[in-house]
A = this chain, B = another copy of it.
Amino acid sequence: MRVSDQLDATFAALADPTRRAILTRLAAGEASVAQLAAPFDMSQPAVSKHLKVLERAGLVLRSREAQRRPRTLQTEPLQAAATWLEDFRSLWEERFQGLDTVLDELMAAAEQERDDE
C-alpha cells in the first residue's frame, strides 16, 4: 500500500465516533466483538463492519481464542497520521516565520524612514 493510501485509510477510519470509541476501548486492552459492541445501540454486524474498516486501515488485529475473535490495537498507522499532522504544522509555521521576516523588514524600513526625517 502506498503511503498516501495508508493515510487515506487511517484518516477515514478515524472519521467516525463509533470507530474512535472502539479504538479508545482497545487502548485498555484486547476485547471481543461482543465486548466492543456492548456500549453501542447498534447491531453486531454493524460493529463488525466498523471493525473491518479499522482492520483494513491496519489499526486493529484479529486473533482467535475459542469462539472469540479478540481484537488488539495496532498504533503504527496512528503514529503515521500524527506525523503527517506534525509535518504539516512545521510547514505552516515556516509560513509564519516568513511572515515574521516580512514584518521585521517593514519595521526596519519604518525605522529607517523615521531616521530620515
Of A15-23, A31-39, A40-48, A107-115, the segment with at least 4 beta carbons within 8 Å of chain B is A15-23
A10 to B14: give the CA distance in the assembly, Å: 9
**Complex contact A85–B81 (CB within 8 A):** yes
**Complex contact B86–A82 (CB within 8 A):** yes
Using a Cβ–Cβ cut-off of 8 Å, how many residues does chain A contribute to the interface with B?
A: 32
Q: Which of A72-92 contact B (CB under 8 A)?
A: 73, 75, 78-79, 81-82, 84-86, 88-89, 91-92
A15: which of B11, B23, B28, B91 is its contact (CB, 8 Å)?
Answer: B11
**Complex contact A85–B85 (CB within 8 A):** yes
**Does A12 reach chain B (CB closer than 8 Å)?**
yes
